[in-house]
Copies of this chain bind each other. A is one copy, B any other.
Amino acid sequence: MVGTALDEFALIAELFAPLAAGCPGALGLTDDAAFLAAAPGFDTVVTMDAMVEGVHFLPDDPPDLIARKLVRVNLSDLAAKGAKPVHVMLAAAFVAGTSEDWLRRFAQGLRQDLEEYGVALIGGDTVSTPGPLSLTLTAFGRVEAGRGILRSGAKVGHDVWLSGSLGDAALGLKAIRGQLSGVDEGHLSFLAGRYRLPSPRLRLGQGLVGLAASGMDVSDGLVQDLGHICRASGVGAEIEAARLPLSRAAAQAIAGNQSLLALALEGGDDYELLFTADPALAESLRRLATATATPLTPIGRIVSAESVTAVRVLGADGRPVPTGRGGWRHF
């Protein structure tokens, strides 16, 4: 039973209750639960992601960025399903003795992103832990009933698409650790930012409703995540390595060290959207890319599930490239 000088209820009232403004059902975070009115014609899309200090973020990461990353990785899941985010709940196990300043900066980051994405905090729990800091967010979104984008809709012949660029976050973690050499300062900073603060592709995801037949966000690595779509859909996939979209920063890093390409293929944390679509929709997708100012790249195709490996990556010579274990696994 751990205690600190801070009072749980005073803390919640002062720092978190203002984030519930605009949602009457949150009851100002003064009740045991939140009440959400039914929205006929819509499905509620719910996701829950946890982050642990030392595993999902670094102990000396700025507290506002930790809060914002927590929000964003959860909203990214909603984006991938085509949902518009509406509410979040936060369960935080703060380390006993955490300073009030740290907590204020954490709450400030939370507030910044909830405001940016138009999302209300509707409840949660704050508890004490001997450490490490452990954070869990439940995010609630809304999509027209029955129109959410699932992993299970991929069909043979579909194109495989990826938003943005690949591998930046994995390279960014290397950059933060001082393990990238021969890369411009500006590029290093870009890569580190992509690790520390992903951008959920919300406008893109909502625009993909009716276009993408299946989809998810890339959080555990392209090969592994595409494997999830393949297994859920009963199909296979072929990716062309030469078509993978790289940022200029990532391209410079890989040009100086070809072994980093595998990191781009298998590293996680990019939070880009990976989806499949009928080839007839390619032009619509290009228009959506323009409208949402989000690069979209076709990187391969869905094939029948005949091979032992669900996802094959083809090199420039058309022959499979070995992909190893296939991505980051949490446990």
With both chains docked as a complex, state the minimum distance between the C-beta of A319 and any C-beta of chain B, in angstroms. 28
A127:B52 contact, CB within 8 angstroms: yes
Cα separation A4 to B330 with both chains bound (whole Å): 9
A52 surroundings in chain B (CB, below 8 A): 93, 127-129, 134
**Minimum Cβ distance to chain B for residue A32 (Å):** 4
Q: How far is the CA of A235 from the CA of B90 in the complex (A)?
A: 29
A314 at interface (Cβ–Cβ under 8 A)?
Answer: no
CB of A127 within 8 A of CB of B330, answer yes
In the bound complex, CA of A71 to CA of B231 (Å): 31
Q: Are A35 and B27 in contact (CB under 8 A)?
A: no
CB pair B48–A91 under 8 Å, yes or no, is: yes
Indicate which residue in B89, B150, B328 contacts A138 across the interface (CB closer than 8 Å).
B89
Q: Evaluate contact between A55 and B330: CB separation under 8 angstroms.
A: no
Q: Is the CB of A331 within 8 A of B3?
A: yes
Which of A48, A55, A143 has the most chain B CB within a 10 Å cutoff?
A: A48
Q: Could you tell me the distance between the alpha carbons of A81 and B36 in the complex, rounded to whole angstroms?
A: 13
At the interface, yes or no: A117 with Cβ under 8 Å from chain B?
Answer: no
B residues near A134, Cβ cutoff 8 Å: 52, 93, 129, 134
Query: Interface 1/0s, chain A 29-45, versus B by CB < 8 A?
Result: 01111111111111111
Stretch of A7-15, A243-251, A300-308 contacting B (4+ beta carbons < 8 Å): A7-15
CB pair B331–A127 under 8 Å, yes or no, is yes
Chain A 123-154 against B: per-residue CB contact (8 Å), 1 yes, 0 no?
A: 11111111010101010110101001011100
Contact A127 B50 (CB under 8 A): yes
Q: In the complex this chain forms, how many copies of it are found? A: 2
- A78: Cβ under 8 A from any B Cβ: yes
Q: Mark A73-92, 1 if CB is under 8 A from B, else 0.
A: 00001101101000001111
User: With a CB–CB cut-off of 8 A, which chain B residues contact A203?
Assistant: none
By a CB distance below 8 angstroms, the chain B residues around A30 are: 151-152, 228, 231-232
The residue of chain B having its C-beta at the shortest distance from the C-beta of A49 within the complex is B125
- Whether B38 contacts A44 by the Cβ 8 Å rule is yes
Q: Tell me whether A242 is interfacial, beta carbon within 8 Å.
A: no
Q: Are the C-beta atoms of B47 and A331 separated by less than 8 Å?
A: no
Report yes or no: A35 in contact with B31, Cβ–Cβ below 8 A: no
A289 → B minimal CB distance (Å): 22
Which of B25, B44, B217 touches A36 (beta carbons < 8 Å)? B44
Can you list 26 A-B contacts (CB < 8 A)? A4-B331, A6-B331, A27-B150, A31-B151, A31-B152, A32-B216, A33-B45, A33-B77, A33-B81, A34-B45, A34-B46, A34-B47, A35-B143, A36-B44, A37-B145, A38-B43, A38-B145, A46-B122, A46-B140, A48-B89, A48-B123, A50-B93, A52-B129, A127-B330, A128-B331, A129-B134
Q: Write the residues of chain A forming the contact surface with B, with a CB cutoff of 8 angstroms.
A: 1-4, 6-9, 11, 25, 27, 30-52, 54-56, 77-78, 80-81, 83, 89-94, 122-130, 132, 134, 136, 138, 140-141, 143, 145, 148, 150-152, 216-217, 228, 231-232, 328-331
